[in-house]
Amino acid sequence: MSHELIDEAAPSERSAAPAMRRVTSASKRGDAAAVTALRPARMKRAPRVAIVHDWLVTYAGAERVLEQIIACFPEADLFAVVDFVDEKDRAFLRGKQVTTSFIQKLPFARKKYRAWLPLMPLAIEQLDVSNYDVVISSSHAVAKGVLTGPDQYHLSYVHSPIRYAWDLQHQYLQESQLTRGPKSAMARLILHYIRNWDVRTANSVDQFVANSHFIARRIHKVYQREAAVVYPPVAIDAFELETQKEDFYLTASRLVPYKKIDLIVEAFARMPERKLVVIGDGPDMNKVRAKATPNVEIMGYQPFAVLHDRMRRAKAFVFAAEEDFGISVVEAQACGTPVIAYGKGGALETVRDTSRPTGLFFAEQSAQAIIAAVNAFEREPDRIRAEDCRANAERFSAAHFREQLLARVRDVVPEISVRDVARAIPVPPARSDDLADDAPRVLAIDQSGVLGGAELSLLEVVKGLRTRIDVLLFNDGPFREALAAAGARVDVLDSGALRHLRRDGGAGPRLGMLAGIASLVRETRRRARDVDVLYANTQRAMVIGVLAGRFARKPVVWHLRDIVSAEHFGRVQRSVIKVCAKLGLAHVIANSHASARVFQQLTGFDTRRIDVVHNGVDEAPFMAIERVSQRQLRKDIGLPEDAFLVGAFSRLARWKGQHVLLEALLVDTRMHAVLVGAPLFGEDAYEAELRAFVETHGLAARVHFLGFRRDIAACMRAVDVIAHTSITPEPFGRVVVEGMLAQRPVVASRDGGVTEIVDHGESGLLCTPGDATELAATLASLHDDPELRTRLAVCGLATARARFGKAQYVGAVERVLDAVAKRRRRQG
């Protein structure tokens, strides 16, 4: 059989991503039984891990994935069909010895190993991994067929099912000139045998992981199995953002038929006014050179430094292949370079062409379609921003890959060493004993699935303690997705029992609710058995945590993020808080002195067991867009470019006081209001009231409702002033700190935790809560005095960095949790 049937470039340039079959769907349902069914027996020792790769002959895309798998499991042993990697290129193997198959010693194996494809199924089955607890296969051909037993856990990270044996068989036979004759018949017979073997061996895989949704669909088509998606690792940090582009286009790849580089060259040959640079070498070099015209520069193979330089400076990167993933597409975006891509395969997942676009697509692999796409790109040169390209590329970093892979393995094999996880995943600076075997384990509990301020603050803690913290939610939603994206181990108990409980009043729970609450307590108690401390992030979660902690005999720490006064909580709810404080709270972390003071007055709680830890806010989203002009941000968001914009950022709720800002607009007609947020907890009537006020007073042209947004940093930097208008005391005021990090002057209500953030006249301005006239006058002073706006913004930024940094916040929370857990250990 011809060795050309196996295209070496295809698997090596495709990356992978883990897909969990039953585990992912089970964890979303809270179906612990389905997850447990995959787990091997519990071990009292560290699990032994084997990594199986198809073949080792070079360092390319598949090997980059292997490198990160090895980083996740540094003590693992490595197996492959053959190993012919040169000594100078072996660094990615981290000094590991590779156990190989009998093909290693067959004639001509070094140069013609692909010719031995018919024997590879047999070869992979002869690799003995029976002494290992966990087997991770990295497979684009046969690695997933390694033999495993019922007590072994096998996760297969699939780059693609054997593409030349399945849907691309006819294309490969044609390109290999094997469409007729005896050789063709033999090739088809061998491929038929490989297909049968491929399907049969899929049954021995416990979890499939795909490198894209495109490959996940192919896995389902071929194996009838579900696959979770973990995008492959791309060395994002090796590429630098460049916003100033030059007048040439770039394409870079190995010159093999399916890459369609000849089509790209043909297209630019018909556009002599546009310059194209081609980097790469391969079998199609002569075909590509034959089509080149003077405006097309064929550079051949180039070292990374040259590729990086051209990729940063190019106007756009042109990509015409149907790839499973397409690493080069992500690398281009990491440089801030837009992508013009064939709209099929992995590119549809790595390139955005709608909201905050990073490229555009053409519908067919033809020179004419490429020409049309380039012309469309030229018509809107400012539509795609380099910063958006870079931000999109960050989703595919190596760190993110490691987080996702480890989370999936540890969900099924929790005995995987915390120290191994720590070595694979960079974490914020921590104390030297953080990764000790006896480091306290934490179960964080939150009632919400939405991304509110409390949830964003918890997210930072989870990122900082990810190696020893699990998260339990009582509702599904964007918060669970954000936790999963951060590599957190998260489970959801969505019983609905807490949805109709109101904190601002009302009677106690009905009988049906009590049954649901009992179920939550029971399940939380079960999960609490394997941790040292329960960490409740919200009030309703605290109630469940206290009851579960009481039964499980575990200490409970409540992160108090509310002022538990009659203005915010009803009588029943405050009574419940008092009971819980006496029944089972070991410690309280308050987000401000204002919150701590009211809680202590309500409950009489021991002040020695209350710590005030101001929330920390991550500056990275604000720094990422620091060089983007305000005019460009307004254009992207759809805001007027020349108006004086005052932004209010919070959920739409009466106590947040957005109506006060609208009333201020009636006093001073020079200002516009930008309302970012949506009603979350049955507050739709308030939004309707705000919109009615706008309509009644003719403010429609000056009030901009943006609804819920994820790009808060961009929205904040798009406005001139940020107004915090709460009419009752705010527990902390996260939006005030965010405004400071956005380098915008902040006007805030003089009450609650806000007074612990803002020094009036220095880092911001304070107003009387609910006083629209005073608010209007304060905003007018900022409108009329640009120097005052600048001075407040500079001082505010310095304050936010010095007092409300993420590292200080996470470290303080961590110290409390550790102290409580260790105190309980000493007591019992």
Residue range 29-42: average pLDDT? 46
Strand ranges for 580-634 from DSSP E: 585-590, 610-612
**Which single residue is written with the structure tokens 């401000």?**
592
Residue range 522-542: average pLDDT? 92
Q: Which fold has domain 620-804?
A: Rossmann fold (3.40.50)
Q: How far apart are CA 207 and CA 470, in angstroms?
A: 21
Domain 442-616+812-827: state its class.
Answer: alpha beta
621 confidence band (pLDDT: 50, 70, 90):
confident
Q: How far apart are CA 409 and CA 153, in angstroms?
A: 9
573-582: per-residue pLDDT in tens?
A: 899 999 999 8
Domain spans in the chain, listed from the N-terminal domain onward:
3-229, 236-396, 442-616+812-827, 620-804
DSSP letter string over 308-361?
HHHHHH-SEEEE----SS-HHHHHHHHTT--EEEESSTTHHHH--SSSS--EEE
Residue range 48-56: average pLDDT? 95
**Predicted local confidence at residue 422, as pLDDT:** 38
Tokens of 417: 């060493």
By C-alpha distance, which of 641, 619, 627 is closest to 336?
627
Query: What percentage of the chain carries pLDDT values higher than 90?
Result: 54
Amino acid at 250: L
Strand 644-649: give its sheet, edge to edge: 703-707, 671-676, 644-649, 721-724, 746-749, 765-767
Residue 424 has pLDDT above 50, yes or no: no
**Predicted local confidence at residue 11, as pLDDT:** 34
Supply the mean pLDDT for the chain. Answer: 85
156-202: per-residue pLDDT in tens?
A: 999 988 876 777 677 767 767 778 888 888 888 888 888 899 999 99
Residue range 450-460: average pLDDT? 86
Residue range 229-234: average pLDDT? 88
Phi, psi of 756 (to 5 degrees): -85, -10
Q: How far apart are CA 484 and CA 129, in angstroms?
A: 31
By C-alpha distance, which of 4, 1, 12 is closest to 55?
12
303 confidence band (pLDDT: 50, 70, 90):
confident
120-132: per-residue pLDDT in tens?
A: 999 999 999 999 9
16 confidence band (pLDDT: 50, 70, 90):
very low
Phi, psi of 422 (to 5 degrees): -65, -35
498 confidence band (pLDDT: 50, 70, 90):
low
Instruction: Output b/e per residue, 793-814; b: 16+ Cβ within 10 A.
Output: bebbbebbeebbbbeebbbbbb
Helix (H) or strand (E) holding 158: strand 153-158
Amino acid at 539: Q
How large is the greatest C-alpha to C-alpha distance in the chain, in angstroms?
91
Tokens of 625: 């867009």
Q: How far apart are CA 777 and CA 779, in angstroms?
A: 5
**Predicted local confidence at residue 499, as pLDDT:** 53
Amino acid at 771: D
Q: How far apart are CA 492 and CA 357, in angstroms?
A: 33
Kind of pairing between the strands at 207-210 and 227-229: parallel
Answer whether 0.75 is exceeded by the pTM.
no
751-785: per-residue pLDDT in tens?
A: 988 999 999 999 999 999 999 999 999 999 999 99
**Predicted local confidence at residue 419, as pLDDT:** 39
Amino acid at 720: D
**Predicted local confidence at residue 175, as pLDDT:** 65
For the beta carbon of residue 203, count every other beta carbon within 10 angstroms. Answer: 8
The residues facing 278 across adjacent strands are 251, 298
The 3-state DSSP class for residue 140 equals: coil
Helix (H) or strand (E) holding 476: none
Least confident of 278-292, 595-609, 662-676, 677-691: 677-691
CATH architecture of 236-396: 3-Layer(aba) Sandwich (3.40)
563-602: per-residue pLDDT in tens?
A: 998 887 888 889 999 999 988 899 999 999 999 999 999 9
